[in-house]
Amino acid sequence: MDNPLFFLYNRINMKRNLLLITVFAVLTLFSCTSTQVETKSTCKKSKPDEVNFVICGDIMAHTQNFRMKNFNLIWDDVRDITSGSDFTVANVEAPVCDDQPFENYPNFNMQRSYPQAAIDAGVNLITVANNHTNDQDTDGIIKTSEWIKDVTKKYNGTLRPVYICGLRENVLDDKASKNSQPTYCYFTKDKVRILFLGITQILNTQKGADRINYFPHTNKGKEELKNLIIKLRKENPCDVFILAMHSEEPEYNLTVFPKRREWYLELLDNGVDILWANHPHCPKPIEYIGNSKTKKIEKVILYSTGNTISGQRHKPNYLNPADMHEYTGEGFLVNLTVKKEKNSISIKNPHTTYITTYIDDSKNYVIKKLDKKFYNELINTGHSAWQNYLEEREKLLRELKETTTWQ
């Protein structure tokens, strides 16, 4: 006869082993490690009918930025935010070309290592359409296109794919590009279908303009853009449509111009849900559009989220923090959770993080959150001038009020 204690012992061992196997399987399922591409991002476990976005601003590379030895340092303090979303959105404001050295204003060039640091920090929804896209002429556009193809291929099928648009489908020659269609990104996250389009209304020169998603702010250009938005939304049924617009408006100006607001509202009526404008290099107010019947936020206009990283403010004006140029050192990280409703979407719990470009003791230009932790760090390390200056800067940023318009 079998020993009953031995039988009980085996049953316990079997249950324990089954539990260990189950735990290991669950941990493997939800792990962010990919065998295809090693990333430094973390997973966002949003619900199947929701998608979380973090909207950044302009990623720029001035001399002060690209002299850094380690570009990953730029993102360390905000990596928890940029890698904690489903999609983190940014504007790469330069051609990306390894055949050319890094170049400063007025004709920028980034080598691949610079935007790669942003991608490693979680940036994975990118527009390259802006007034500097053709700074290195048509060759720079072609090299940027090659970078886009390489990056999207590298991250395709991983837990954090990267999507990039802003150029025309064919950029290899003038004849082909004239008849080429604008690129856009269309993809899904669980149950949510997303459409992303990046365009520019302004170019510094017309070289290679036919190879860029360029819609000048003329009656003809505006009409073409509206028709494109309607066409894309019809051909690509989506739950949320994000338009990244490099807008033709004055730089270094905090004003929300009434005519521009009317134009943006018209684009919302034509199918855009999140309109994110960039180009002013300073943050501007945010306007949420709500449904007066459901009392839910359904659309948003980000008039400008400013610079995420740049070298424009290389000498902080401690005596006059309110000087207009000082705004080039700050930006917003706007966190939006979009929920798919029965016949619409809603934007839940929007949140804005204020960020600054800080110059550390090693002359590294790094992104820092404007919060008490950072201020205390500055005090404890003998940087009270920075601390006083940045606390004043934060007060000024908070004057850029968020508003909600109910319709």
Residue in the block written with tokens 């860029």: 212
156, HSE (Cβ side, Cα atoms, 13 Å): 10
Interacting residues of 407 by C-beta distance below 8 A, sequence separation 6+ = 289, 290, 291, 292
Which of 167, 170, 101, 162 is closest to 136 using CA atoms?
Answer: 101
What are the beta bridge partners of residue 366? Answer: 358
Which of 331, 11, 306, 41 is closest to 159 using CA atoms?
Answer: 41
**106 upstream amide cis, omega within 30 of 0:** yes
Mean pLDDT split into 10-residue runs, the chain, 407 residues: 35 39 36 32 70 98 98 98 98 98 98 98 98 97 98 97 97 86 97 98 96 97 98 97 97 96 98 98 98 96 98 97 98 98 94 98 98 98 98 98 95
CA–CA distance, 23 with 134 (Å, rounded to integer): 52
pLDDT at 47: 93
Taken as a whole, the chain contains a residue count of: 407
What token pair was written down for 277? 């404008």
- Which helix or strand (DSSP H or E) is residue 260 part of? helix 258-269
Q: Are 140 and 100 in contact (CB under 8 A)?
A: yes
The SS3 call for residue 280 is: coil
Fold topology of 52-406: Purple Acid Phosphatase; chain A, domain 2 (3.60.21)
What are the beta bridge partners of residue 287? Answer: 301, 403
pLDDT at 177: 85
The SS3 call for residue 5 is: helix
The three-state DSSP-derived secondary structure of 318-331 is CCCCCCHHHHHHEE
pLDDT at 176: 82
Residue in the block written with tokens 């504007």: 91
Helix, strand, coil % in the chain, rounded to nearest 5: 35, 30, 40
pLDDT at 45: 62
